[in-house]
Amino acid sequence: MITVSPDGKIMVRRCLVTLRPFRLFVLGIGFFSLCFLMTSLGGQFSARRSGDSPFTIRTEVMGGPESRGVLRKMSDLLELMVRRMDALARLENSSELHRAAGDRPSALDRSPPGAGLMERIQAIAQNVSDIAVKVDQILRHSLLLHSKVSEGRRDQCEAPSDPKFPDCAGKVEWMRARWTSDPCYAFFGVDGTECSFLTYLSEVEWFCPPLPGRNQTASQMAPKPLPKVQAVFRSNLSHLLELMGSGKESLTFMKKRAKRLTAQWALAAQRLAQKLGDIQRDQKQILVHIGFLTEESGDVFSPRVLKGGPLGEMVQWADILATLHVLGHALHITVSLKELQSNLGVPPGRGNCPLTMPLPFDLIYTDYHGLQQMKQHMGLSFRKYRCRIRVIDTFGTEPAYNHEEYATLHGYRTNWGYWNLNPKQFMTMFPHTPDNSFMGFVSEELNETEKQLIKGGKAGNMAVVYGKEASIWKLQGKEKSLGILSKYMEIHGTVYYESQRPPEVPAFVKNHGLLPQPEFQQLLRKAKLFIGFGFPYEGPAPLEAIANGCVFLQSRFSPPHSSLNHEFFRGKPTSREVFSQHPYAENFIGKPHVWTVDYNNSDEFEAAIKAIMRTQVDPYLPYEYTCEGMLERIHAYIQHQDFCAAPGPVPAGARAPQSPFVLAPNATHLEWAGNSSSAPGAWPPAHSLRAWLAAAGRACTDLCLDHGLVCEPSFFPILNSQDAFRKLQVPCDSTESEMNHLYPAFAQPGRECFLQKEPLLFSCAGSSTKYRRLCPCRDFRKGQVALCQDCL
């Protein structure tokens, strides 16, 4: 039985009293530091093979000097804690004496507060020091033994001198020096011997030839491919809603949107199935990783869903998920890094090793955040499988920013580019650059009955302002335009606000606060005008307004906004110039549904308001933004886009025996020769090619639009030859092949012709007054600019 003396009780009470919060804080920090160091030490011991007990110590992967260093740090930290506690105790004792001047201290008062605690810490420090000495002795003995074993086994395995594997010897040297830098190597069986290095470098990575006798073992470990299953259109989204999960406001928003559009997706699937007929479609295994919703990327959108934050990305992702599900593919959805690692088969460690299994997915849809996460955790497998990735990229990535070496050398490097992907792997919200693939989203489509009801229920003098955040109402120059508009129309807003802090909107604006999507749609169905004040750029709301029978009025930008003059675009991987708030609405829809005017010109602005009030418009939605249009487009991409096939060599300038194109009868451009057959499997089909030589300073994107066509970057390799210039009767005194995103092109002052050396740099974007660019164009389906006439 343990007894406690009264003096002992008094001492404990005084210790608890005199250990002030700051000292408790210091003690806590010391304790948690000790725990952290012990965990770190455990990490040194824990690099183990699959199947080992979690308590098994594997001394061969400890890295002796590192472990001894950790123990020394633990001992030093504990000694520092003792010194700090001793100093604090002396300071506290001195302070107590001063505060109790005139009182005679007892013998107990003279003993330092917390003396027992300090004695315990000193004892722990001594024990750690003793452990460090013993572990050091064990390590020395183990490493000595290990070196002898390694020498014996190293004689049995030597790095081969095989010209087919020129990097093998260098990789073995690297492994010899750094194999303990990442626990993933031990996970794959590396134990510090030459044989384990060569086994890893031949079977997990691919830098060395297989070791004798291990070929069949490696092949037996490879899983058999899953049997192909035909994709069948789906009309029920309940399984998709389960896959999307819960727990985040952003996911709740996306699920509500998908559920609300279920009937439209079902009808669209039925229509597309009839259009495609008996076309066979293989079901794809698709991973969808929404990187911006992960905690590691900050998940900045979820907290803003209920506060008027931008929802364009979530609208698009909800529609992407619905499209892939309705098309009949097998989806796996992740919104956390842990789920991503599990689905990919990422080995434990720091991301230096390849995946533990062949990638089980045919396609991966992600965003820039997810792309970065994959690169960090897939090791060499990222390079191997990146051709299967599709990046949802709101504003687009031009080839000059995508090619790492070129971007670095020529000033195009940004925070988002240099991934060396095929530019078509980037998928945009609007078709603003044909270098990328247009993914899009959908707006709710009205039937004829609903359209007639809307036309009859319109209030001719009602306007709704585009913008749910209060910052929209603080844009420069807005007050004058609002004042003019208020003379003719009743102005409504949907600005988020908290009850104690109403938004700063003019008194004549009727603010409804942040509305749920169905209520916002009802507001648009009553309004005559939907007006934007320059921001946000290119969101879904203007298309929703036009689909509900509103006229969209927006500001013309002069000069145009770009990364050179506007903070919003700075750092984005595009040099695109934006001439209005919503370029797609201006260029692809236009009047009478879309009016673009100079808000700084009061007369022009007021005249536009008067004209709009006299204009009658029907609800309108471009086909490519309907459910059927998006299903059709993504179906074509999945069926035909293959970025894993090795690109063919870029012609070096030699004339082909038989030219695949001829000069058009009017001698202005090239056409596909009638007696030439397109390459089998080529998409888009090459027979839709039309090619012009642009004027100096003109981009291919603009030139093709001038002819009612779109630029098609996949046709550049066909044109990248001397023969194309010859057929266009261009006088080339010399021909050079270089890396430049403006090539192929003709430099008129020197009569020089330039061909493209790097396939990833073929680009529809970009211009220079020095060059006349050779531009490939193609036709497109009505209402579906992403697809040519024969692309479906």
Distance CA(408)–CA(183), nearest Å, equals 33
Residue with tokens 């970025």: 643
Domains and CATH numbers, the chain: 156-214 (no CATH), 237-438 (no CATH), 448-620 (3.40.50.2000), 661-778 (no CATH)
Contact 192, 61 (CB under 8 A): yes
Mean pLDDT of 583-610: 96
What is d(CA 92, CA 90) in angstroms, rounded to the nearest whole number? 5
φ/ψ of 774, rounded to 5, equals -90, 115
Residue 655 neighbours by CB under 8 Å, 6+ apart: 721, 722, 723, 726
Question: Over the stretch 283-334, which tens digit does the pLDDT of each residue have?
Answer: 999 999 999 999 998 887 777 776 666 688 999 999 999 999 999 999 999 9
Contact 491, 458 (CB under 8 A): no
Q: Are 328 and 231 in contact (CB under 8 A)?
A: yes
Q: In this structure, what DSSP letter does residue 757 have?
A: S
The mean per-residue pLDDT over the stretch 84-89 comes to 51
For residue 571, CA distances in Å to 65, 306, 575 come to 44, 28, 10
How sure is the predictor about 80, in pLDDT bands with cuts at 50, 70 and 90? low
Are 398 and 765 in contact by the 8 Å Cβ rule? The answer is yes
465 neighbors 476 (Cβ within 8 angstroms): no
Tokens of 117: 């605690």
- What secondary structure letter does DSSP report for 714? G
The reported pLDDT for the residue numbered 220 is: 44
Torsion angles phi and psi, residue 772, rounded to 5:
-105, 110
Across 24-33, 63-72, 269-278, which has the greatest mean pLDDT? 269-278
Query: What pLDDT score does 791 carry?
Result: 92
Cα distances (Å, whole numbers) of residue 783 to 437, 444, 628, 629? 16, 16, 11, 8
Neighbour order of strands in the sheet with 426-428: 330-334, 285-289, 363-366, 389-392, 426-428, 437-438
Residue 721: Cβ within 10 Å count: 25
Per-residue pLDDT, 416: 85
Supply the mean pLDDT for the chain: 82
Q: Which pTM does this prediction carry? A: 0.80
- Both structure tokens of 319: 């529609």
What is residue 630's three-state secondary structure? helix
* pLDDT for residue 688: 92
- pLDDT tens profile 634-672: 999 999 999 998 654 444 444 444 568 899 988 899 998
Q: Among 17-26, 153-162, 580-589, which stretch is predicted with the lowest mean pLDDT?
A: 17-26
Q: What is the DSSP letter of 532?
A: -
- The pLDDT score that the predictor gives to residue 120 is 58
DSSP per-residue string spanning 42-78:
HHHH----TT--TT---GGGS-HHHHHHHHHHHHHHH
Q: Inter-axis angle of helices 249-260 and 517-526, to 10 degrees?
A: 50
Which one has a higher pLDDT value, 120 or 57? 120
d(CA 564, CA 556): 17
Which of 156, 135, 174 minimizes the C-alpha distance to 42? Answer: 135
Burial class (CB in 10 A: 0-12, 13-18, 19+), 423: buried
Tokens of 29: 């920090």
The total of other beta-carbon atoms located within 10 Å of residue 14's CB is 17
Cβ neighbours of 179 (radius 10 Å): 20
Helix (H, G, I), strand (E, B) or coil at 607: helix
Which residues are CB-contacts of 607 (< 8 A; sequence separation ≥ 6)?
A: none
Q: What is the reported pLDDT for 99?
A: 39
Q: pLDDT band for 625, please (50, 70, 90 cuts).
A: very high
pLDDT at 146 over 50: no
pLDDT at residue 616 is higher than 90: yes
Q: What is the largest CA-CA distance in the chain?
A: 117
Highest mean pLDDT among 81-85, 99-103, 339-343, 679-683: 339-343
- In angstroms, the Cα distances linking 84 to 89, 174, 526, 527, 536 are 8, 44, 72, 71, 56
In the structure encoding, which two tokens stand for residue 108, read together?
Answer: 């107990």
- By CB neighbour count within 10 A (0-12 exposed, 13-18 middle, 19+ buried), where does 355 fall? buried
